[in-house]
Chains A and B, each alone.
Chain A
Amino acid sequence: MKASLRRLGLALAAPVLALVVAFVVTSIVLLLAGDPVVAVWTQLLTAPRPRLIVGIINGASVYYLSAIAVAIGFRMNLFNIGVDGQYRIAAFAAAVFAGQGWLPGPLNIFVSLLIAVVVGALWAGIAGWLKFSRGVSEVISTIMLNAIATGLVSFMLFKVADSTTGSNVTNTKLLPPSSRVPGFALISGTPNKVYGFVLLAILVGVTYWVVLNKTRFGYDLRATGRSETAAVASGVNVKRMVLTAMLLSGAAAGLVGMPLLFGQDFSYGTTFQPGLGFAGIAIALLGRNHPVGIAFGALLWSYLEQQGNGLQITAGVSSELVFIIQGVIVLAVVIAYEVVRRAGLRMEQRNVARQLSSDQPGHHLPEGAPV
């Protein structure tokens, strides 16, 4: 019990430390720039209004899916930078299909989700296959595939763009109303609703946790991530595992755009939110690949963005300041986790040594020996 409390304390120490560092560094940046430090933090740290709370939750649900997609790769020591390209191409494909309204309401939604998952998986699968068959680093191939995905989607979007609306915005055909996912009026005091697909994010998080921690497959995947050589010796087919993990990561990435598509935009167009895949990398790092940690990370990310929107008005500081804070948090958290990990390891080794030496009086160390 005491040991697990300590472990929890250690787990929390790193993010708290990183937040403190981010606070200090950002304040220094503000001071150097001659901006009002107090006004900025007042704006960022006051309780958000109901409308913003809804925005925070909605934004977080999208980030959460993205971070889970990245985390699947991370647990296997695969760095899937390509979530960005995977979610775009998957969202585009799903939007094109769903917009046709060939199938009745819920079935249309379900099949569109399936298309998003499959397209995301296949796009990531290209990188997986290259690594499986040719040993190409997934870092390189997914970066390239991001660029290709962006170009491909722009090109295709132009081909299938819905020209009836007559505006400058280019987008796919709007979803039929029966295929839109209704939101929940969770927060009182605002007409804005929380995406219905918040449930999808939760479902994906739970599935991620169960599959990784409770199944044989998850054990194999984690073992491969921890030590590829040991996994090979234990009988894991590591190459196949690389391909599988990449497909799963891409499948999850395919879902990233779904809350936006079915809960807000109802089409895929040039204004569809970009950069979600890269935010996912940062949030997965922040959340330590843990489904609950990632949830907090996603909420924090979304919180900073929503609160940052008001910076220009209340403090006269550009809302881009939030990017500085986010960047510092990620850098600090990576360092803090390593520091805390080593401290934890030392603590555990010391504990084991102490418990063993007190268990066996016959084996005690010479007097004055450091324990």
Chain B
Amino acid sequence: MAPAVELRGITKRYPGVVANNNVTFSVRRGTVHAIVGENGAGKSTLMKILYGVQRADEGTISVDGQPVLLHSPSDAIAVGIGMVFQHFMLADNLTVLENVALGAEKLHGIGDRARAEIERISGEYHLDVHPDDLVADLGVGKRQRVEILKVLYRGAKILILDEPTAVLVPQEVDELFDNLRELKSEGLTVIFISHKLDEVLSVADSITVIRRGTTVATVDPTSVTSRQLAELMVGSELPSPSTEESTVTDRPVLTITDLALVSPDGHGILRDINLTIHAGEVLGVAGVEGNGQAELVEAIMGMRDPSSGRIWLEDVDISDWHTREIREAGVGFIPEDRHRHALLLDAPLWENAMLGHQTQKPNVRGLWVNASGAKADTERIVAAYDVRTPSINVTAHSLSGGNQQKLIIGREMSHAPRLLVAAHPTRGVDVGAQSAIWGHIKEARRAGLGVLLISADLDELIGLSDTIRVILRGQLSGEFDPDVVTAEDLGSAMTGAV
């Protein structure tokens, strides 16, 4: 039997970046086939090619043994390939039926025939999706199933799922995997993209590893360990976050009391936030995105005015301070979206190394920019934090994500901070940079900084934090001890299941 999908010699060149080079693998019908690789290894490009969003420079794609040319997503759907994106594409204020039928009105209309078809698909694959539910009322897991149903409704026999578990808590992941097994038992083929190895091992029938844009191996999950897979993925020794002995002191660096934030339209974003971070302590905040962690960070950094409550840096009330004063007082900030909040992409590295510290030595002398001082300091940061760049005069844009992040961390650590606010510090960086960044956070902790660590990566949180708290619908949970807490415990707290 011909493979459901076969890719041969797929090559895609982007300027300056290795996207895909000679990618070759095939997927058997009725299996879950995982594509694993680090962030930036080229998985997303490959899937875009397979879904007709991008075109390969070289190589062929065959579906059921027939070579196909995919020029657009509609070509892909026509040959039975459907894609579920990481970010859902659903209209909140429409019902499931309306969302599913939108753009596919020709198939089964928009009325009872469409409703019947949705119910049939939902029943057949146990998706538990009801056509007349309003999408706004659905949880993340269910929305994902609506996305899957949308693709099946359009007649897909091959489903591509791009990082489907990134937005799910552990319990939802299990449900998703049950659904995937259901799909494959009905003869459908699933291509599953991920970089979470344990998940891949538990659900996939076959695993293709991508490294630096090319396929390095296709392996059988029963014959490899998670560690072997990881080494295939990164091609080197693996780091792991682990704290050393406690350096926590009894000197509070950051104290927040009864903080609340109400949005302009009147609903509460943050409520009753009370927390204390001591010198030498890493406080980890876990939570599903959108539960108020971004707003909490912005309130601390003075980018949002809290509606009530006080924020203290050591024994100074900084609640009403402006961002600049807060930064000058010794708060380092690693924003969650470095392209939007931490870099001037078109500016040279040395100007980026000043950003956020453009009122501090050695970057300025009085009201004047001290270019030579700033450049010398950038050279130091580049060397000390292992920022891989040919020069400090290239634009920030030309560096990889990991090197950009190392520059940011270097700059934030360079002005004698007392508190470091780090939001998703290792998001979208390669494993090498990740371990370096973990190293720097541990070093900061040893140096007596208080660290507020916001992360979606539970391993990172458990490995680095002295205390973990969970944020859910704008409220903080009690404290968890990272030495004894499990990912499942945190997952329950993150969804409010307990």
Binding site for B on A (CB under 8 A): 3, 213-220, 222-223, 226-227, 229-230, 232-237, 345-346, 348-353, 355-356, 359-360, 365-366, 368-371
A220-B358, A233-B323, A235-B327 known; A353+B16 contact, CB < 8 A: yes
CB distance from A351 to the nearest CB of B (A): 7
Q: From the candidates B21, B345, B347, name the one contacting A370 in the complex (CB within 8 A).
A: B21
Does B1 have its Cβ within 8 Å of any Cβ on chain A? no
Q: From the candidates A216, A217, A223, A348, name the one contacting B395 in the complex (CB within 8 A).
A: A348
A230-B344, A230-B355 known; A356+B323 contact, CB < 8 A: no
A349-B16, A366-B214, A369-B18 known; A237+B324 contact, CB < 8 A: yes
A227-B343, A227-B345, A233-B333 known; A352+B394 contact, CB < 8 A: yes
Task: Find the A residue at minimum CB distance from B397.
Answer: A345
Q: Which residues on the A side are within 8 Å of B394 (C-beta)?
A: 348, 351-352
B397 and A356 form a contact (CB under 8 A) = no
Q: Which residues on the B side are within 8 Å of A351 (C-beta)?
A: 16, 390, 394, 398
Q: From the candidates A227, A349, A355, name the one contacting B15 in the complex (CB within 8 A).
A: A349
Q: From the candidates A345, A346, A359, A366, name the one contacting B21 in the complex (CB within 8 A).
A: A366
A234 and B16 form a contact (CB under 8 A) = no
A348-B395, A369-B18 known; A355+B323 contact, CB < 8 A: no
Whole-angstrom CA separation of A348 from B349 in the bound complex = 13
A346 and B214 form a contact (CB under 8 A) = no
Whole-angstrom CA separation of A370 from B18 in the bound complex = 6
Whole-angstrom CA separation of A350 from B13 in the bound complex = 11
A216 and B18 form a contact (CB under 8 A) = no
Whole-angstrom CA separation of A356 from B347 in the bound complex = 20
Q: How many A-B residue pairs have CB under 8 A?
A: 131
B368 and A235 form a contact (CB under 8 A) = no
CB distance from A217 to the nearest CB of B (A): 7
Q: Which residues on the A side are within 8 Å of B13 (C-beta)?
A: 370
CB distance from A82 to the nearest CB of B (A): 27
Q: Which residues on the B side are within 8 Å of A214 (C-beta)?
A: 368-369, 371
When each residue 167-179 of chain B gets 1 if its CB lies under 8 Å from chain A and 0 otherwise, what string results? 0000000000000
Q: Which residues on the A side are within 8 Å of B393 (C-beta)?
A: 3
Q: Which residues on the A side are within 8 Å of B303 (C-beta)?
A: 232-233
Which of A218, A365, A370: most chain B CB closer than 10 A?
A370
Whole-angstrom CA separation of A227 from B359 in the bound complex = 18
B341 and A235 form a contact (CB under 8 A) = no
Whole-angstrom CA separation of A69 from B359 in the bound complex = 26
A218 and B369 form a contact (CB under 8 A) = yes
Does B30 have its Cβ within 8 Å of any Cβ on chain A? no
Task: Find the B residue at minimum CB distance from A220.
Answer: B358
Does B364 have its Cβ within 8 Å of any Cβ on chain A? yes
A-facing residues in B9-57 (Cβ within 8 Å): 11, 13, 15-18, 21-22
Binding site for A on B (CB under 8 A): 11, 13, 15-18, 21-22, 212-214, 301-303, 322-328, 333, 335, 340-347, 351, 354-359, 364, 367-369, 371, 388-391, 393-395, 397-399
A217-B367, A223-B358, A227-B344 known; A369+B323 contact, CB < 8 A: no
A352 and B389 form a contact (CB under 8 A) = yes
Whole-angstrom CA separation of A217 from B399 in the bound complex = 27
Q: From the candidates A215, A355, A369, name the one contacting B212 in the complex (CB within 8 A).
A: A369
CB distance from B23 to the nearest CB of A (A): 11
Whole-angstrom CA separation of A103 from B269 in the bound complex = 62
Which of B13, B15, B17, B356: most chain A CB closer than 10 A?
B15
Task: Find the B residue at minimum CB distance from A225.
Answer: B344
B21 and A369 form a contact (CB under 8 A) = yes
Q: Which residues on the B side are within 8 Å of A366 (C-beta)?
A: 21, 212, 214
Write 9 A-B pairs (CB below 8 A) sorted by A numbering.
A230-B341, A234-B356, A235-B328, A235-B358, A348-B16, A349-B16, A352-B389, A352-B394, A368-B21
A352 and B398 form a contact (CB under 8 A) = yes
B214 and A369 form a contact (CB under 8 A) = yes
A216-B368, A369-B21 known; A233+B16 contact, CB < 8 A: no
Whole-angstrom CA separation of A144 from B328 in the bound complex = 41
CB distance from B328 to the nearest CB of A (A): 8
Q: Which residues on the A side are within 8 Å of B322 (C-beta)?
A: 235, 237
A371 and B18 form a contact (CB under 8 A) = yes
A229 and B355 form a contact (CB under 8 A) = no
